[in-house]
Structure 1
């Protein structure tokens, strides 16, 4: 056979069915059909005694094709293929390498035996997409590993290394060295022992301790009682069904639960978030520009957490700091924090810190391939930069320095620390942008290309201005913060003002509101903590404008706005601001705005970002809200022209995202 799956039969009767669908061997419909045909052919071939199910390239199938979730399902679903493999009359051995995740691991669970390379990882991360394993994973996994382990794997969504998977009973053998030869040797052992098919559906190993099994069910069900996404609770229900129902009935229960999840708004949003992050890396027009190699990172005025991440990624780091000893200790503290979370041990930490060089002399930056410098340190860093090196100016757009300089915005670590906005100028070279993108990905960041200023702060300012507009009309700032937290943000806009070190601005707003007759309910919460007699210095133009407007309004009575009205206004403001950024070419596509908001500004991921939310609400409905609000304040609320253009042509923001 040729195509995405190849079948070969050796003289000893060992057949090898190999998936070859780069880059990750996703189980798309053509792959599933070819696998089915290969299993049928191998089973019908009298010369075949045992089947090895493997994959070419860098990994065993790493999951299903996520794009199929948005289309009408095609016949021969993955559950059917898994059932066919499990029902095979000849023993099937799954040979795992790379990351066998999602549907790929469900395929392996349906095989009769499982062998893996020692550096392989397995897992069922569907919950991160608002889904549950829908090809028998919720029924087969607990039969092998028990309820507690199955729930930890599926609800956590994180991969499990091969050694741990073997301890849990999910793998029969873990090998090092030549995987293909080890698989054939294992196959010969099974044949010599006359081992036949061993179907996972018949296993009772994980179901024996019913008391512990049900205790795990009760624990997780109580913990998930208020979950905003339905998938986690349904995973618990399915794992309970694995214990209480016959296997075929459990599969039907799982399928119904999967269908409920896949059609939910939360899953649509989480799948959008997943694809939006990957889409952000696609930069049209970048052509064949190759990133320059980065082995040493220079940091001048940078975050010690960034230095720790670079060391963790295997880079050498030159850190410029006024007190090198204190800076080294701070970086070591971050590294210790990483180590305490699980993976590297003490030896690895010593090796990481050996690659750190801290000094107060900026001339040491001459050996760096990439330098990230604060605004104050950028000029000095540029003076010492080698001709081939790249400079990223943190917190600012690209300044002088020509093609090898770009700006960089790193959101506060409190929002998750996964985003990096690369601020390119017209003179920024494609090689510089490619180098920065590649280095940031190595540091575990999602890199987002922006032209000009950063997206996150612009969006945050628009939402703060919308909140200020409500204050002007007498809204209670407590209610505004509470409504945004109820929507899914960790903090409301005024709580964030204080947390982000803008206490002076928050205090000034508190003073203005107090003089207007509003009384807070206690101290210590953003705008609510203030000194009535103080006159805090405020420099932010948006806050200054709001203060002047509040003072001009005087002691106007408060107007009560419901939580839904507050959220409606805030989301309309965010979508409008995002549309203006798209129109201006600051971002390449609407989904980039969603990425900036979810990864950098605390927007709840299960809501999908303001642009997707506007699509879900309906662009006409959002525009009507903006039209009504613009009667109160046309300078701020007037809809961006992009709304009318899309509505006229029957299109949505999603239609501008590309592939």
Structure 2
């Protein structure tokens, strides 16, 4: 079998080329090929320097995903990198595309690094429940300051080539032909001499004990129970407090130990689940429709966020509101989101101006006549939304896709408000829409394959993770959330308080508990939904009145300074409120409960059981295509801790 690694020699400089599409992953064959190439170079006295480069669109972008969850085969990556670092001649890494994980570790083992200006470099192992296992935590702090190394290793986010040059991770940026410039760099090193191996260099700095104590406290709080970020910090500490050989051994042992943990298994599962969310068979080989011009109806928080997301993706967006004043408010809201992206460095000044030039806010539906796709994001009321769809059906092109951002309502009924229901689809965004990754694509009974294909194409364009859902009350995510929210209310009736439930969820790994989330989102939307369902609710169904009583008092959450918690003077963090406890105790007494304390474990057992029971019903009814789609929805839309894999993974599903 042909090796994915080739070697050529010209003028005393060897070029080692990795060609393992699509991302030049460090498969067993690649590792063996690199090792063989270094041995060949070491044995060839005519070679005085080497360039390590990759074919295709990227440098080595990580491990071979086919080897995930399996014991690695020889040669092991640390041994390959040791051979690179101790090579007889200087080796220059020529980096383009992405150098991630083992790919960056390979570059770190080289004696010098030159990167294309658009390259990205990172050590994302923590996102898979791991730490670098081939010297990344030992070599990196010898090139960059520990603060920078800590950000890269414990956070997992890549840095740009420009930033890499600034912090010392790469030596040069290529402005023209990368490999040619790398070869020229290698020729310079022939004259100046081989640089010291990275692992032999002195660390850029050696922080004192207080640095590590403070960083561990901060990282552990942010990790919320995920082990790998803290373990990564410990590996970095080892890199400057232990001899190099011992630090390398400790790092590898830590990597191997973490690889076999439940958290790493859950994160590997999520890695694949996010890339394999279900697409209906009928859209295979179906071409999506054009997505150049989009319309948005409604310029509130959600509508503005959707408009901003599409503008950031390069689309032209027309937003309509009920009158000129509302349209101007919507324009300012969208402009504010874009300006926020610019201030955070996510948009250049030129890109910001370009995005604004592609946006307009109008006060009439006729402005949507040229749109390829229109998304309504008006108040969550069936009557209001039907009126919108009737108008869209009148003014939009016959081939335009019409979408609803409804959270709960029957999209089939909305589709039936049009002459052609086949072009209607649900697109349930999550707030803030320009940031949240999840997009539930709700398939109506009449949706045409081209409609669905276009919805998935939009998700890709917006860099969202699409999850297909069928039509039901709340689709996948909101239906499951409604179920466990009810269960939480029952736990309140039986003995807990909101702060007990929220603390248990935070301890499990949620960023926020359910009651803090409700206060942030507003209690009034769910209340409207409950009132809508009241007429059809079975008489014998258990129903908690606590939330209704809060809403009847006008306690809708942060926006009214009172909900499940009290928010004094505009505070974002709520405080337990005796008035809420009084209502809970009254409801317990009315229902005849003798209140009892709950442990955090007991609370989470109840929450998980209710999630899983509703999720199984969602599967059985065909609302979700597979269990992993449910987990993706709960992780990316509802804050379920990613390192726990989602409720279905926790229940033993491994599709």
Question: TM-score range, shorter-chain basis?
Answer: 0.7 to 0.9
Deviations 1:519-540 (A, max 9, x none): xxxx96644679xxxxxxxxxx
Q: Secondary structure at the match of 2:266?
A: helix
1:386 to 1:184, Cα distance in 2 relative to 1, 3 A: farther
Structure 2 match to 1:569: 606
Deviations 1:111-143 (A, max 9, x none): 111111111111111122221111100000001
Deviations 1:552-581 (A, max 9, x none): 964432233332122111101111211222
The Cα of 1:164 is off from its aligned counterpart by 1.4
| 2:453 pairs with 1:434 | yes
Structure 1 match to 2:214: 219
Structure 2 match to 1:458: 479
Distance 2:9 2:452 in 1: 48
Question: Where do 1:115-264 residues align within 5 Å?
Answer: 115-191=114-190, 193-196=191-194, 198-204=196-202, 206-207=203-204, 209-210=205-206, 212=207, 216-226=211-221, 227=223, 228-264=225-261
Q: Secondary structure at the match of 1:224?
A: helix
Distance 1:373 1:276 in 2: 29
The partner residue of 1:372 within 375, 387, 392 is 375
Distance 1:573 1:500 in 2: 22
Distance 1:22 1:112 in 2: 25
Structure 1 match to 2:270: 273
Structure 2 match to 1:640: none
| 2:365 pairs with 1:330 | no
| TM-score of the two chains, using structure 1 as the length reference | 0.83
Number of residues paired by the alignment? 589
Q: Secondary structure at the match of 2:447?
A: coil
The Cα of 1:213 is off from its aligned counterpart by 6.5
Q: Secondary structure at the match of 1:570?
A: helix
Distance 2:435 2:603 in 1: 25
Return structure 1 stretches of 4+ with deviation > 4 angstroms.
212-216, 281-285, 471-478, 503-508, 510-514, 527-530, 549-553
Contact kept, 8 Å, 2:306 with 2:434, in 1: the verdict is: no
Question: Where do 1:522-533 residues align within 5 Å?
Answer: 526-527=563-564
Contact kept, 8 Å, 1:416 with 1:600, in 2: the verdict is: no
Q: Secondary structure at the match of 1:427?
A: coil
Q: Which moved more, 1:328-337 or 1:47-56?
A: 47-56
Structure 2 match to 1:391: 402
Deviations 1:84-110 (A, max 9, x none): 111211221111001111111111000
The Cα of 1:420 is off from its aligned counterpart by 0.6
Contact kept, 8 Å, 1:496 with 1:526, in 2: the verdict is: no
Contact kept, 8 Å, 2:319 with 2:361, in 1: the verdict is: yes
Distance 2:509 2:436 in 1: 18
| TM-score of the two chains, using structure 2 as the length reference | 0.83
1:73 to 1:444, Cα distance in 2 relative to 1, 3 A: same
1:215 to 1:477, Cα distance in 2 relative to 1, 3 A: closer
The Cα of 1:513 is off from its aligned counterpart by 10
Distance 2:587 2:216 in 1: 48
1:186 to 1:452, Cα distance in 2 relative to 1, 3 A: same
Deviations 1:273-298 (A, max 9, x none): 22211111655453212333322221
1:348 to 1:579, Cα distance in 2 relative to 1, 3 A: same
| 2:349 pairs with 1:346 | yes
The Cα of 1:57 is off from its aligned counterpart by 1.3
Distance 1:331 1:527 in 2: 30
Contact kept, 8 Å, 2:494 with 2:588, in 1: the verdict is: no
Contact kept, 8 Å, 2:5 with 2:34, in 1: the verdict is: yes
| 2:486 pairs with 1:483 | no
Deviations 1:39-92 (A, max 9, x none): 223333344332211111111011112453412232222212111111211221
1:402 to 1:14, Cα distance in 2 relative to 1, 3 A: farther
Structure 1 match to 2:573: none
Distance 2:120 2:278 in 1: 25
Deviations 1:6-60 (A, max 9, x none): 22233x1322222222222221222222222232233333443322111111110
The partner residue of 1:423 within 442, 452, 475 is 442
Q: Secondary structure at the match of 1:311?
A: helix
Structure 2 match to 1:594: 631
Q: Secondary structure at the match of 1:53?
A: strand
Contact kept, 8 Å, 2:18 with 2:30, in 1: the verdict is: yes
The Cα of 1:247 is off from its aligned counterpart by 1.3
1:221 to 1:559, Cα distance in 2 relative to 1, 3 A: closer
Gaps of 5+ in 1: 515-522, 531-546, 616-652
Structure 1 match to 2:306: 306
Distance 1:346 1:489 in 2: 36
Q: Secondary structure at the match of 1:441?
A: helix
Deviations 1:154-177 (A, max 9, x none): 122211111111121111110122
Contact kept, 8 Å, 2:470 with 2:622, in 1: the verdict is: yes
Deviations 1:453-508 (A, max 9, x none): 32101111111232344355455455334323332334433444443322584995
Contact kept, 8 Å, 1:214 with 1:240, in 2: the verdict is: no
1:478 to 1:155, Cα distance in 2 relative to 1, 3 A: closer
Contact kept, 8 Å, 2:306 with 2:429, in 1: the verdict is: no
1:290 to 1:190, Cα distance in 2 relative to 1, 3 A: farther
